[in-house]
């Protein structure tokens, strides 16, 4: 993705930040003191004038392994820059599913919205990045949480209760854009991206007949844009028939 696509979301981000300025940390070991770990985490999250910290810069510069190492060294992923973008927003903009999955497994807040009212899932759907979207909506397993350096409130037992225990880690699929009222389902229906529609439809508590501020459902958007395959899938999934456009 070129710089113009970055600027669509990032605005005045400084892409001239030099690699030489990147932090050179090694992953903390079990022998490190809590005070040292806290100090390292504090340095990682120190922001520049744009509100970008070392983790943000690593993500922007697509330094995947460095970004993952920095994620391993901190537990606070809720910090935002001046455009109210979190590490997850920036990762989504740079289309890096490996980092987005690591952030989700580490426990990042998925429902946070940027200055446009978009969650990371909104952006992934709008940009048609199926890999990132998949990483945001798939359940987190207990095995995956073993990557985390911090303890989680989970006790391994013989029964498989992973889906129930981690169900609430997924983003609210009905979160809507503040400007248009569009949910992720509206966004993928408008683009005719049936593979993304298939990912969104099975989500729990999905409001399949939710309306935008213009009072269009996802079915109506797909139908009147001529996406017959998407409209058919929505219909068999329980969506209401499209209303005549003259009465909407």
**Contacts for 95 with CB less than 8 Å, ≥ 6 apart:** 1, 127, 129, 131, 132
| Predicted pLDDT at 85 | 92
Using pLDDT thresholds of 50, 70 and 90, give the confidence band for residue 134. Answer: confident
Residues in the chain: 248
Assess whether pLDDT exceeds 60 at residue 87.
Answer: yes
Q: How does pLDDT run across 164-197, given as a tens digit for each residue?
A: 333 344 457 788 777 788 888 998 898 888 888 8
Per-residue pLDDT reduced to its tens digit, 34-50: 565 666 766 777 778 88
Query: How is residue 173 written in tokens?
Result: 């699929």
| pLDDT exceeds cutoff 50 at 12 | no
Work out the angle at residue 38's Cα, subtended by the Cα atoms of residues 114 and 19, and round it to the nearest 5 degrees: 60
The lowest-confidence range among 78-82, 161-165, 180-184, 199-203 is: 161-165
pLDDT value of residue 56: 92
Q: How buried is 216 (Cβ within 10 angstroms: 0-12 exposed, 13-18 middle, 19+ buried)?
A: buried
pLDDT of residue 168: 42
CATH no. for 1-152: 1.25.40.20
Query: In the structure, what pLDDT confidence band is assigned to residue 219 with cuts at 50, 70 and 90?
Result: very high
Q: What is the CATH number of domain 172-248?
A: 1.25.40.20
Same fold yes or no, 1-152 and 172-248: yes
| Dihedral angle computed from the Cα positions of residues 27, 33, 39 and 41, in that order, rounded to the nearest 10 degrees | 40
The predicted structure's pLDDT at residue 98:
92
- Please name which of 174, 158, 68 lies closest in space to residue 122, comparing C-alpha atoms: 174
Burial class of residue 189 (count of CB atoms within 10 Å of its CB; 0-12, 13-18, 19+): buried
What is the average per-residue pLDDT within 111-125? 86
pLDDT of 149 reads: 67
Q: Which two tokens stand for residue 215?
A: 């009072």
% pLDDT > 70, the chain: 73
Q: 106 or 19: which carries more pLDDT confidence?
A: 106
- For the chain, the domains span 1-152, 172-248
Residue with tokens 């683009």: 191
């Amino acid at each position: 993705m070129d710089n113009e696509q970055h600027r669509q979301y990032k605005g005045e981000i400084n892409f001239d930040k030099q690699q030489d300025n990147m932090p050179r940390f090694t992953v903390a070991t079990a022998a490190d003191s809590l005070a040292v770990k806290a100090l390292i985490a504090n340095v990682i999250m120190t922001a520049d004038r744009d509100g970008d910290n070392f983790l943000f810069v690593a993500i922007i510069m697509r330094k995947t392994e460095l970004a993952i190492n920095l994620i391993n060294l901190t537990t606070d992923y809720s910090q935002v820059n001046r455009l109210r973008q979190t590490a997850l927003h920036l990762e989504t903009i740079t289309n890096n599913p490996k980092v987005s999955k690591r952030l989700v497994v580490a426990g990042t807040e998925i429902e946070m919205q940027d200055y446009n009212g978009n969650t990371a899932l909104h952006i992934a759907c709008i940009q048609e990045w199926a890999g990132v979207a998949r990483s945001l909506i798939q359940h987190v397993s207990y095995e995956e949480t073993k990557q985390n350096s911090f303890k989680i409130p989970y006790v391994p037992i013989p029964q498989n209760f992973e889906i129930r225990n981690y169900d609430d880690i997924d983003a609210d699929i009905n979160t809507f854009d503040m400007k248009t009222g569009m949910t992720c389902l509206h966004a993928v229906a408008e683009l005719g991206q049936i593979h993304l529609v298939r990912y969104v439809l099975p989500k729990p508590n999905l409001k399949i007949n939710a309306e935008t501020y213009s009072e269009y459902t996802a079915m109506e958007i797909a139908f009147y844009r001529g996406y017959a395959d998407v409209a058919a899938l929505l219909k068999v999934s329980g969506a209401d028939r499209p209303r005549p456009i003259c009465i909407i």
